[in-house]
């Protein structure tokens, strides 16, 4: 039996191959400092775990949940957006619960596009966006994210044909992998661009809680007119260290939300109700733990930048997310430099080329190990005498 043509069209899973390389090195008994991962290293706050335990003890949560999620979580998502961003969300028509926002981002093209339609993707960008392209049998064009434009796409560089054909646009700020932050002006420009060319916008707000230097990341939905053209995906994975719980939501344009809901009616039966109750608790609770987590990432960022400077690796500090986007030294491709660090220094980083053509010349480093391990990683790299 052969795989379907649809499966055969799927792109290689970049993160899976990265994990395999690292695990193979660890299996050899080597002490690998893994800076290539995107998996939060801190545990879920205890009160969220307790909320799950209490909910799981209630036999009601053992039954099938409503197809479109429990009212408590939908209302919590709406309340969270009003409290954190001043954005009014109707919990009945403008919230879709998803089993992690990766599902939402991959399934969205299936919900609102037809085969052959065109979508716009950032380059570099989250590799799994391409999975949605393949599954929906749509086409895509890339928007380069380059340092000279602060890693924001320049819509003026798109051809008139691309602008006319595009049906869906993906954005992601704070950005993975570059760590860049969007501005109000850029999001205002995006809303105007989307309205002019009748393009739907999906903003991947995965790192919405992680902004540095006292700057809070901006929600796309804070911009006037944003709900007329788009939605925003929010995950609890990063904000509350709930990556393995697989829970998130989309909010915004009611028509797009309904399309997601209708597709999910046929694919899923929502999430384990106890997880939904715990997620609602996380969103409704006092957010001190979120501030503490953000401060920890900022401290790690500062250590990384300081230690890199000591060895002659001049890098720009990320404005948000828990990643840093570091330039590769002259004489190496991204893949060569990545392999060198793993093979000669036992330090794993993510090859920038895995995030797209314009990721060449960079590696992505995660702030997901303790500060001492970041220092040790830089000491190991210094011993290679590259810089």
- CATH number where 247 lies: 3.40.640.10
Instruction: Extract long-range pairs of 349-355: CB within 8 Å, 24+ residues apart.
Output: 349/35, 349/36, 350/18, 350/36, 350/177, 351/18, 352/124, 352/177, 352/325, 352/328, 354/14, 354/18, 354/127, 355/14, 355/123, 355/124, 355/125, 355/126, 355/127, 355/177
- pLDDT for the residue numbered 209: 98
Tell whether 86 and 38 lie within a shared domain: no
- pLDDT for the residue numbered 19: 85
- pLDDT for the residue numbered 98: 98
Number of domains in the chain: 2
Question: In this structure, are residues 22 and 366 in contact, taking their beta carbons and an 8 Å threshold?
Answer: no
Residue 273, token pair as written in the block:
């109700």
What value, to the nearest 5°, has the Cα angle with vertex 153 and ends 150 and 158? 145
pTM: 0.96
Distance between CA atoms of 250 and 252, rounded to whole angstroms? Answer: 7
- pLDDT for the residue numbered 77: 98
Name the helix (H) or strand (E) containing 235: strand 230-235
Tell whether 298 and 276 lie within a shared domain: no
User: Is residue 50 included in any domain, yes or no?
Assistant: no
Tell whether 227 and 374 lie within a shared domain: no
- Residue 343 lies in domain: 5-44+288-382
Tell whether 140 and 230 lie within a shared domain: yes
From 284, 302, 320, give the residue that closes a domain. Answer: 284
DSSP state at residue 211: B
Tell me the mean pLDDT per 10 residues along the chain, length 387.
92 82 91 94 97 98 96 98 98 98 98 98 97 97 97 98 98 98 98 98 98 98 98 98 98 98 96 98 95 97 97 95 97 96 96 97 97 98 95
Q: Give the bridge partners for 201, in sequence order.
A: 169, 230
Tell whether 102 and 222 lie within a shared domain: yes
- CA count, 13 A, side-chain hemisphere, 338: 24
Q: Give the bridge partners for 121, in sequence order.
A: 142
- pLDDT for the residue numbered 310: 96
Question: In this structure, are residues 139 and 119 in contact, taking their beta carbons and an 8 Å threshold?
Answer: yes
Tell whether 180 and 114 lie within a shared domain: yes
């Amino acid at each position: 039996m052969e795989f379907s043509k649809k499966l055969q069209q799927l792109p290689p899973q970049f993160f899976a191959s990265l994990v395999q390389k690292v695990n193979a090195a660890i299996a050899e008994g080597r002490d690998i400092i893994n800076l290539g991962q995107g998996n939060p290293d801190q545990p879920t706050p205890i009160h969220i775990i307790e909320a799950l335990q209490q909910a799981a003890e209630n036999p009601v949560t053992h039954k099938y949940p409503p197809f479109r999620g429990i009212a408590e979580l939908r209302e919590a998502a709406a309340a969270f957006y009003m409290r954190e961003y001043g954005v009014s969300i109707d919990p009945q028509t403008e919230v879709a619960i998803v089993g992690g926002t990766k599902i939402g981002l991959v399934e969205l093209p299936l919900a609102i596009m037809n085969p052959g339609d065109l979508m716009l993707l950032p380059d570099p960008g989250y590799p799994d966006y391409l999975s949605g392209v393949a599954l929906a049998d749509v086409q895509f064009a890339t928007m380069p994210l380059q340092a000279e434009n602060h890693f924001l796409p320049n819509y003026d560089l798109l051809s008139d044909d691309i602008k006319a054909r595009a049906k869906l646009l993906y954005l992601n700020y704070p950005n993975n992998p570059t760590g860049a932050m969007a501005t109000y002006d850029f999001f205002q420009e995006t809303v105007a661009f989307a309205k002019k060319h009748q393009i739907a916008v999906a903003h991947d707000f995965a790192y919405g809680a992680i902004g540095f230097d006292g700057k809070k990341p901006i929600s796309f939905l804070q911009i006037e007119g944003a709900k007329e053209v788009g939605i925003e995906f929010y995950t609890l994975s990063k904000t509350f260290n709930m990556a393995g719980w697989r829970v998130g939501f989309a909010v915004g344009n009611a028509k797009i939300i309904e399309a997601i809901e209708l597709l999910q009616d046929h694919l899923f039966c929502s999430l384990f109700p106890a997880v939904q109750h715990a997620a609602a608790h996380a969103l409704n609770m006092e957010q001190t733990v979120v501030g503490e987590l953000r401060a920890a990432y900022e401290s790690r960022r500062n250590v990384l930048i300081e230690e890199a400077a000591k060895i002659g690796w001049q890098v720009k500090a990320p404005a948000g997310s828990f990643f840093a986007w570091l330039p590769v030294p002259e004489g190496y491709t991204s893949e060569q430099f990545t392999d060198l660090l793993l093979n000669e220094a036992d330090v794993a980083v993510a090859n920038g080329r895995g995030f797209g053509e314009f990721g060449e010349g960079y590696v992505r480093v995660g702030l997901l190990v303790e500060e001492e391990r970041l220092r040790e990683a830089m000491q190991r790299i210094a011993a290679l005498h590259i810089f």
